[in-house]
């Protein structure tokens, strides 16, 4: 992305996810890049993506990108690990602005963090089955050994707010027991819902395992890209964020406020152009 230019750095950043999970990326933007303005689209009407085919996820991703392009965004962030795993090439060919997914930044961060070249990956079935993190990690170093496990119930725990307590602990133990004894020293949280479960995942894995938050790594890379290309927002006006969904705005607002630990302004239901 060395040839990236931003004609107007004060335009918003567009972000999409299959639902609320991508708000973990928004939370990181609020922390790392508080002056930036965002337009977030949660495709709650067609959620979940993690069990869909590659062809359908790619089609949905292109439709989501087209919707966000109508808001004159300067950069597109695919805050969905599933879509990032299968649709980035198609998106890069179709949209005229920089597009960044969450897989590559997370993999790079894990490769830098590991001490013994043994890295675990947890995510949805689609993300794990795609092998996307494994491919990036192997391209960085053929000596890296990957162990991947799908953890689909973590999504429900995050959305219901059951991130601590006996239920979360039991499910984490069930999913992660074999990873804990696999010898990994680094674990990629390969779903944007999973950062809400960091404490229980960390406790289950033990002190010797470094957790990699793909949302955190993605926003750090966004910051570097925009800084290098003079794309950081410099408007003195307070950013005005927009939150859009394809269904159930009230539910999105309720769950989303748990993700962000703050109030969300109006959430608007929009119709997608699926032609």
182/177 Cα distance (integer angstroms): 9
- pLDDT of res. 275: 45
- Which stretches within 81-197 are classed as H helix? 81-86, 88-94, 103-113, 125-130, 132-140, 153-160, 166-180
Per-residue pLDDT tens, the chain, 275 aa: give them.
457 788 899 999 999 999 898 999 999 999 999 999 999 999 999 988 877 888 999 999 999 999 999 999 999 999 998 899 889 999 999 999 999 999 999 999 999 999 999 999 999 888 898 899 999 999 999 999 999 999 999 988 988 888 889 999 999 999 999 999 999 999 999 998 898 899 999 999 999 999 999 999 999 999 999 999 999 999 999 999 999 999 999 999 998 998 898 999 899 999 886 54
For 179-220, how does the pLDDT look when each residue is reduced to its tens digit (9 = 90+)?
999 999 999 999 988 988 999 999 999 999 999 999 999 999
* Dihedral sign from CA coordinates of 195, 250, 14, 33: negative
Concatenated DSSP letters of 56-87: HHHHHHHHHHHHHHTT--SEEEE--HHHHHHS
What are the catalytic residues? 80, 191
- pLDDT of res. 274: 56
By CB atoms closer than 10 A (0-12, 13-18, 19+), residue 162 is middle
Global pTM reads: 0.90
- Tell me, yes or no, if the two domains 13-101+217-269 and 104-214 fold the same way: yes
Structural domain boundaries in the chain: 13-101+217-269, 104-214
CATH class of 13-101+217-269: alpha beta
Which token pair is 226? 């925009």
Concatenated DSSP letters of 199-264: HHHHHHH-TT-EEEEHHHHHHHHHHHHHHHTT-S---SSPP--EEEESS-HHHHHHHHHHHHTS--
Q: CATH number of 104-214: 3.40.50.300, 3.40.50.1860, 1.10.620.20, 3.30.70.100?
A: 3.40.50.1860
What element of type H or E holds 24?
helix 23-32
5 three-class SS: coil
Beta bridge partners, 17, equal: 42
> Could you give the dihedral angle defined by the CA atoms of residues 262, 97, 19 and 86, in that order, rounded to the nearest 10 degrees?
-140
In degrees, rounded to 5, the angle at the alpha carbon of residue 46 between the alpha carbons of residues 42 and 49 is 85
By CB atoms closer than 10 A (0-12, 13-18, 19+), residue 2 is exposed
186 Cβ contact list (under 8 Å, min separation 6): 110, 113, 114, 118, 119, 120, 209, 210, 212
């Amino acid at each position: 992305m060395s040839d990236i230019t931003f004609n107007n750095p004060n335009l918003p950043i567009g972000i999409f996810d299959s639902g609320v999970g991508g708000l973990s990326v928004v939370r990181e933007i609020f922390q790392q890049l508080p002056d930036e303005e965002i337009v977030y689209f949660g495709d709650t009407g067609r959620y979940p993506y993690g069990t869909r085919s590659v062809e359908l996820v790619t089609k949905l991703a292109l439709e989501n990108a087209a919707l966000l392009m109508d808001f004159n965004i300067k950069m597109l962030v695919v805050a969905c690990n599933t879509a990032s795993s299968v649709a980035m090439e198609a998106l890069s060919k179709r949209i005229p602005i920089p597009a960044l997914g969450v897989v590559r930044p997370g993999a790079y961060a894990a490769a830098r963090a590991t001490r013994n070249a043994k890295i675990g990956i947890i995510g949805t079935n689609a993300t794990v089955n795609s092998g996307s993190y494994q491919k990036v990690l192997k391209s960085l170093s053929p000596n890296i050994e990957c162990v991947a496990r799908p953890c689909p119930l973590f999504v429900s725990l995050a959305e219901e707010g059951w991130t601590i307590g006996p239920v979360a602990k039991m499910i984490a133990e069930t999913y992660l027991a074999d990873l804990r004894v696999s010898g990994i020293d680094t674990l990629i949280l390969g779903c944007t819902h999973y950062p809400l479960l960091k404490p229980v995942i960390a406790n289950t894995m033990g002190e010797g395992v470094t957790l990699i938050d793909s949302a955190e790594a993605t926003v750090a890379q966004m910051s570097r890209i925009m800084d290098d290309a003079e794309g950081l927002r410099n408007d003195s006006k307070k950013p005005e964020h927009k939150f859009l969904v394809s269904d159930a705005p009230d539910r999105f607002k309720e769950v989303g406020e748990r993700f962000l630990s703050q109030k969300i302004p109006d959430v608007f239901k929009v119709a997608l152009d699926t032609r």
